[in-house]
Structure 1
Amino acid sequence: MASTSNIERLDNVRRKTEKGFDGHTRREEKHYKCDECSKQFSHLGNLKGHMRTHTGEKPYKCAECNSQFSYLGHLKTHMRTHTGERPYKCDECSRQFSQIGSLKTHMRTHTGERPYKCKECSRQFSDLSALKRHIRTHTGDKPYRCEACSRQFRQPGALKTHIRAHTGEKPYRCEGCSRQFSQLSDLKTHMRTHTGEKPYGCEECSRQFSQLGALKTHIRTHTGETPFKCEECGRQFSDRSNLRRHRQTHKLASASGSLEKCSSFHSKIDNDIGGFREPIAVFVKDKVSGLLSLPPDLTFQCAEPPPQVVPEEHSLTRRRPEAATYHQRCSAGHAAVCSPRPAAPARPGPPCLPDPAPNVQTLDGVTRRPETGFDVRPRREEKGYRCEECSKEFSYPCHLKRHIRAHTGEKPYRCEECSRQFSQLDDLKTHMRTHTGEKPYRCGECGRQFRHLDSLKKHMRTHTGDKPYMCEKCSRQFSELGDLKRHVRIHTGEKPYRCGECSRQFSRLDDLKKHIRTHTGEKPYRCGECGRQFRHLDSLKKHMRTHTGDKPYMCEKCSRQFSELGDLKRHVRIHTGEKPYRCGECSRQFSRLDDLKKHIWTHTGEKPYRCEACSKQFSRLSHLKIHMRTHTGEKPYRCEECSKQFSRLSHLKTHMRAHTGEKPYRCEECSKQFSELGYLKKHVRTHTGEKPYMCEECSRQFSELGNLKRHLRTHTRKKVLPVRKVMKAV
C-alpha cells in the first residue's frame, strides 16, 4: 500500500483547518440563522447558499447542457461529466473518479470497511445505496412500478428487465444460432445447449444438469418433496407438469358428472372390437377407498322418443356403416329404442348404461358388472405405499415420505430470515412473502393485494356482501367460517385456550397469543420510522398515525378528527354530556376512566409517582414531570416576544397576557379585569372582606399572604431575606 492515500491527505488538511495555532480544536460561532428553518451558520455565504434550498434559486448554469445548480461546487462537479476530468485517483489500483465521494466508496473495496449496518439482520455494507436496497427485503418496499401492468420491483434493474416483456425487446443474441433473449441469464443457460456444459450435479446419484431448475426437480426424486399441490383434492406432485396433467382428471370428472342422458354416455374413442364406439358409464369416487364405482341410485332416461325403428342418423358407427348401434338396455320403458337395427344383425357388446340395482363389485381396484363380466377400470394409479401409522395409502413413495412428516413432526424447510421451519416447500414459499412483502393476488374491485389466495377470496366477500356461514342460535351470518366458530363460543361459553403461566383462559387463539406476550415481553411489531416496538399489530397501526398524521375518525357534531376510535368516543361525551364512570366514595361522575382513577387517589391519598431527587410524591405523572424541572432547571417554554423561558406552559400563557394586554378574569362586583386568576381572587376579598391568612401569635387576619409575612416580622424582629437558588455549573 502507498504511504498516504488521497483520502488521508484530504483528512489531514481538514483536521489542520479545524485547529487553531495552539493545536486545539476550533469551534466557530454561528451568528447567522435561517428564518425559515432556524438552522445556524458560521459564515454569511453558507447561509446565502442554504437559503436557495427554500427559494429554489439555481443561479449556476451549465453552458453545455443548460442544467442549473444552486451551488457553484455542484456545477464544477457536473462539468466533469462533459470534460471527462477525474481528479481523484486511487493509490491502490490507479482507478480515477470525478467525485471524492466515489473515491471514498471505492477505497472500501480495498480496505474491506463496511460502515453501513442493517438494524434488522446486522448485515454490513460498504455503500449506503446497497444498504438501502437491502432494507427493502425487510420492509417489502417496491418503489419501481411498471407503467404497463402496475407490477412493482425493488430495484431499477429488475424493472428494466421486466419492461422487455411488454416491449418484446431481446438485446442478448446467441452467436451460435442467432436466437435472442430478453435476459442475460437466459442467454447463458441457452449457451449450454451448444457447449454441452452441465454445471449442476446431483450429490446423491452424480447425475448432471444444464439448468438449476432441472436439478431441483430431480432432487425431489430423492427427498420425496412434492411442492405442487392440487387445489381440488389436495394431492401433491414433485413436478409442475405432472400437476397440470392431473388437473385434467378433475375437468373430465366434472364434465361427466353433469351428464344424465343416454345419448351423452358414448365414448369418442373407437373400439377395435365390434366396429362401433364403446360407450362409457358414470362413476363416483368413494371417499374412503378412493376407488371409482357406479352410483347405486342413479336412474337414466333415454334422450330419444321410443320409435319402433332406430333412424339412420342415430347410428354411431363410422368405420362400419352396416354395424348397428347396440344398447343392451336403457330402462324398461325403452326396449324398442335399445334393440338392434333390423338392417344388420346386432353384435354383442358392452352395456352403455347401468341398471339401477346396486350390483357393483370391487375387486383389486377393478369394478365389474356381474351379469356381463365387463371391467370398468378407473384411470387412477395403484396405491401400493401404506403409512404404518394411520394406514393411509399413496401411489408414490415420495408422497408417503411427505405424509410421514405429519407424524414425525419433521420440518426440513427453514426460513433464512427468521429460522422458522416448515414441513412443505409451498408453506415456506407462502411464508417468505411476509418478509419480501410480495402480494401476488390482486382484488379486481379495489386493487388491494394479498399474499394468499384464501385471503383474496375472503376479501371479495366484502364487495359482494356474501355471508355464507350462519349461527344456528341467533341467525347471525358471517363471511368467514373462523368468525362463526369464534362467535359460537359466546353462546357456549367455551374458552379452549389456556395460558400456561397464569392459567387464564381465552375463547380465541389470537387473544391467548397476545396475552402470552405480557409474560415474555415479546414485541414483534416494529415501527419502520422510529424503531419503536409493540406487542400488538393494532398498537403499531395506531402508532403509525403519529408519523403519517392520519386521523380517520371524525366527530359528526363538530367535524374534529381523531387518530384513534377511543379518542373519538371520549370526545363525543363532551357533546352528549355522558359520564359513565362514577366514584364509589363521593358519587362524582367522569367521562373518562383515567380521570376517575386519578380522582380516586384524592380519597385514598395514593401518590404512586415519586421524585428520585427529593422523594416527593405525586398522584399524577404530569405533576412529577413538572416538578422535576425544579431540579433540572429546564424551562422548555419560551416567549417569542421577549425570549423569557418558563418551566410550565400555564406560566407562559399567563406571561403572554403581559404582551397582549389580555385580561380574561372579570370581577362581578365592579367589572374590574385581571390577567391572572390569583389576582382576581385577591381582589374579590376586598368586596367580601375575607381574610384567610391568620397570625398564630396574635390571631390577626390578613387578606393576602404577603401582608401576613410582613406582619410576622414584628413578632420575630427578623428581616426575611429572599432565598436565591444557586445552580451548580455543569
Structure 2
Amino acid sequence: METISAMDLLDKGKPFHCHICDRDFSQKGNLQMHLRTHTGEKPYRCSICERDFSQKVNLQMHLRIHTGEKPFRCDMCSKDFSRKGDLKIHLRTHTGEKPYHCKMCNKDFSQHSSLVLHIRSHTGEKPYNCIICAKDFSRKGDLNKHMRIHKGDKPFPCEICGKAFYQNSVLLQHLKKHYKEKRFKCDVCNKGFSQKSSLLIHAQKHSAPKQFLCDMCGQEFSKDKDLLNHMMTHTGERLFYCKNCNKSFSRYGNLKRHRCTQADKKPFHCDMCSKSFFLKRTLVHHIRTHTGEKPFKCSVCEKCFSQNGTLVMHMRIHTGERPYCCEICNKGFCRNGELLIHIRTHTGEKPYRCETCEMTFSQNAHLLAHVRTHTGEKPFVCKLCNKKFSRNANLLKHARTHSEDSTAQQESTISE
C-alpha cells in the first residue's frame, strides 16, 4: 500500500476532507463549520430571541437586528447597513451595475438571487414544495406565506380592531377600511369622498351647464363627449375596436378593460388557489372568498358584506334612497344599471342580438335565456325530482307543484 506523508497532504492544499460529501477544505475550522450543514448543529444562540445559528459570524450579524447597529455606510447617500454584502448590493443602485446576466433573454440583474428567480420564469422550476398539500412554489417566501393557511397562523394584527391576517398585504387593505372615512359629502346627491379635492371635482358635474341635448330621449349633458357616448346607446354604434380580436365597444373605458383581460401577465397571485388577477383590488376581493372576511357591516341590520360597494347598495333598502332617476318619467332606481335598462323602455333600444336568429333584446339576461332555446341548455335543476329548466322562473314555478302536492297530501292524511 502506498503511504502518504503529512507533506504530501499539505502539498494538496486542501488536506481536510468531508467524509459525507467528499468536499475538501484548506482549514480544519472550515471543515467543522461545513459538517454542521450535514448534522444540523447550531451551537450559537441569540440571548435575546433564542434563535440558533451554525456559525458565530451569523449570530454576530443577527444581533445587529436587536441592537440596531449598522456599521456599513454608503458614501453616496449616507444610508447605513448592518451587513457589508447589503451595502455592496445597494451601491449598484447608484452605479447602475447589473453583473448577473440571463443567457435566455439577455436581461441583466443587480443581484444573483434576482437572476435565479428570473430563470425560473423560463424553466418553470418550482423547487419549494408544501408537505401538506404538495403545492409547488418558485420562491421560498411564497411557500412560507402559503404554510400559514395550513397552520392557521395570522401574524399581522390590526392595531385598531385586533383582527389578524396571514399576509401583511391583506392587513394593509383592511386598514384602509379604518382610515378611508368619507367625511366630505355632496349636498346634491349625498355621495361621500375621503378628500375635499375629490368632492370639488365631483361638484362640478352638478354645477356645470348642461347644454348638450339628446334628440332621441331629451337627456342633457355638460360635455359633448358624454353626449356622444350616450348616443351610442341609441344607435348601437361601437367606435372602439380591439386590434387583437376585432371586438367592438361603445366606450373607450370598456375597451381598456377588455385589453387587460387579453394581457398575458396577471401580476397579482392568490396563494390559496393559484388564481391570478390584473388588478390588486380584485385579488383583495377574491381572497375574501377564501377567508370569509366581510369587513363592511350594515349599521341597521348588522348584515356583513365583503365589498363596500355591496354595502352601499344594501343600505338603500333601509333608507329607501334611489339616487338614479329617469329624466323622462322621474322613476327612481337603486342602481345605475337598473336605470339604463329602464330607459330602454322609453327609447325602444334593444342592443343585445342573437347570432342565430338575429332577434334583439333590451337586456343581456333576456338574450342569454333566449339563446338556450337554440342550444337546449337547461342549467336550472329541481333538487327534489332533478327536472331541468332553461329559466330560473320556470324552476320556481315548478317548485310550487311540489309544495302544493305536499300540502294536499297532508290535508288528505288529516281527513282520513
Question: What TM-score do you get using the length of structure 2 for normalisation?
Answer: 0.37
Larger Rg: 1
TM-score w.r.t. length of structure 1: 0.23
